[in-house]
Amino acid sequence: MTTRTRFAPSPTGFLHVGGARTALFCWLQARKEQGVFILRIEDTDLERSTPESVQAILDGMEWLGLDHDEGPFYQTHRFDRYAEVTKELLAAGKAYPCWCSKERLEKLREEQMAAGLKPRYDGHCRGGAEPVPGVDPVIRFRNPQVGSVVFEDRVRGRIAVSNEELDDLVIARPDGSPTYNFTVVVDDIDMGVTLVIRGDDHINNTPRQINIYEALGATPPQFAHVPMILGEDGARLSKRHGAVSVLQYREMGYLPEALLNCLVRLGWSFGDQEVFSRDEMVEHFSIDDVNRKAAAFDHTKLDWLNQHWMKTLPAGRVATELRPQFEAAGLDPAKGPALEDLVGVQAERVNTLKAMAEASRPYYEDFADFDPDAAKKHLRPVAAEPLQAIRDTLAGLAAWTPEALDAAVRETAERLEVNMGKIAQPLRVALTGSGMSPSIDLTLWLVGQERALARIDSALGFIAERAAQQR
């Protein structure tokens, strides 16, 4: 039987990293077994679901490259189907209407808590109750009262829960709209899902869902409950941990390859291997190897992986992701070196694309001032001669290539009998305004001949002006 997995987020917010990892695991397992990956939007909560969230989830999935084979299906389009199944259950006596008021239920809950019991519906209407005039009833599932539900979770192992712990859950509200525990079961049956991979906050729901499968005469799928992702402080990941939305990571300049790589290693490993390409993940991943412990999301590791992938991926691929960062930084890629060339030089110097765009500013637009510290240290009168010398050499250079530029700088230093530093540092400050940049040949290469000459002239002017002031 072909494996069919599904990712079923509810559109009440963005796609966060926890959801993204669940989606990744579903996707990987399907791809690995050449199965089918289904996307389903669980939007039965009309109050909280928004079209923006749906779009954010779709965008996030697309950016990560987690493509689905079927769907997206929307539960709101399937209300007729749920109503139909509810009717069947009612007809078979496997569900019943309940007129209990919320007030009564609330009071019941409080009493049970006070008595040290687990709050559960007491079955007041289970035996058939008198309709309350003017009140639309909810529909409750008639859960077995004896025995226990046992299932073999593919990451947790055997889990057993006594039916005495469960109660008769609501499957339809007074207005007829269905509830979560019911819709998932109906959908997973209708969509032929064979393996349910989801967060372990759903473990407690599983036994009651299995009871519904059985009431419907269906064989439950396999389950795999993956541990949650925690924030860096070990608490459940939430907004206050900063970025949790996948799309925010794109904005911050992370590559999807890096985020995926980081996520896949949370709760899963393959020997000592840390770096995984998409293909390697598919090749080696197995849901059965996922461990049970909740893991904390580590941003520093993501930074490391991001840089790794910026250095490793084809420059053109990285450039594609870099382009939006230029726009965000207000930089025009047309006004400087080709982004592919830039990536080749900058990838090893920063760990996000955002930082790369920022660090590349001098190659795309003129800067107003020299960094005061760098200028003070390197744009001194003694630097005037080397700067003039290298300017003259550069002005006559026919080939503006890293090789030619490296040779030009070295020869000039040799000719003047000074250390490389004596010429490279002032030149660096002249070219970029700061004391930090790629190696001097590459810096020159990126700045370009025309700009380089003009900036050296500015620097020479700055030195002269400063000398005049001090005199």
The residues annotated as belonging to the active site are: 239
Judged by CB, which is closer to RNA: 409, or 467? 409
Which amino acid type is present at position 208?
A: R
Judged by CB, which is closer to RNA: 143, or 179? 179
180 binds RNA (CB under 7 A): yes
Q: Which residues in 88-117 contact RNA (CB under 7 A)?
A: 100-102, 105, 109, 113, 116-117
Alpha carbons within 13 angstroms on the beta-carbon side of residue 85 total 25
118 binds RNA (CB under 7 A): yes
Between CA 138 and CA 136 the distance in angstroms is 7
Residue 143 near residue 128 (C-beta atoms within 8 A): no
Which of the ranges 214-222, 424-432, 445-453, 463-471 carries the binding residues for RNA, by CB under 7 A?
424-432
Q: For the window 309-338, what string marks contact with RNA as x by the rule CB under 7 A?
A: --x---------------------------
Q: Which residues in 430-449 contact RNA (CB under 7 A)?
A: 435-441
Among 150, 235, 395, 464, binds RNA (CB under 7 A): 235
Spatial CB neighbours of 45, under 8 Å, sequence gap ≥ 6? 10, 12
Among 54, 88, 163, 205, binds RNA (CB under 7 A): 205
197 binds RNA (CB under 7 A): no
Judged by CB, which is closer to RNA: 205, or 277? 205
Q: Which residue has the tokens 């609330």?
A: 106
Closest by Cα among 293, 287, 290 to 228: 293
Helix boundaries (H) for 191-239: 206-215
Least distance between RNA and beta carbon 228 (Å)? 6
Q: Which residues in 23-52 contact RNA (CB under 7 A)?
A: 42, 44-45, 48
Q: Which residues in 239-268 contact RNA (CB under 7 A)?
A: 265-268
**End-to-end alpha carbon distance in the chain:** 88
Closest by Cα among 162, 150, 161 to 220: 150
Q: Which residues in 350-409 contact RNA (CB under 7 A)?
A: 350, 406, 409
Judged by CB, which is closer to RNA: 364, or 445? 445
Between CA 230 and CA 238 the distance in angstroms is 8
Least distance between RNA and beta carbon 160 (Å)? 7
Among 3, 325, 360, 425, binds RNA (CB under 7 A): 425
Judged by CB, which is closer to RNA: 294, or 329? 294
Six-digit token string for 238: 């939430």
Count of residues that interact with RNA, criterion CB under 7 A: 84
CA dihedral 447, 451, 452, 455 (to 10 degrees): -120
54 binds RNA (CB under 7 A): no
Which amino acid type is present at position 295?
A: A
Six-digit token string for 20: 């993204």
Judged by CB, which is closer to RNA: 218, or 296? 296
Strand order in the sheet with 157-162: 70-74, 36-41, 4-7, 195-199, 222-226, 148-153, 157-162
Q: Which residues in 294-313 contact RNA (CB under 7 A)?
A: 294-296, 298, 300-301, 303-304, 307-308, 311
Residue 383 near residue 421 (C-beta atoms within 8 A): no
Which of the ranges 26-34, 234-242, 333-341, 448-456 carries the binding residues for RNA, by CB under 7 A?
234-242
18 binds RNA (CB under 7 A): no
Least distance between RNA and beta carbon 188 (Å)? 12
- In the three-class reduction of DSSP (H, G, I as helix; E, B as strand; rest coil), residue 222 is classed as strand
Closest by Cα among 248, 250, 240, 244 to 229: 244
Q: Which residues in 145-174 contact RNA (CB under 7 A)?
A: 156-157, 159-161, 165, 169-170, 173-174
Helix boundaries (H) for 45-155: 51-64, 79-91, 102-114
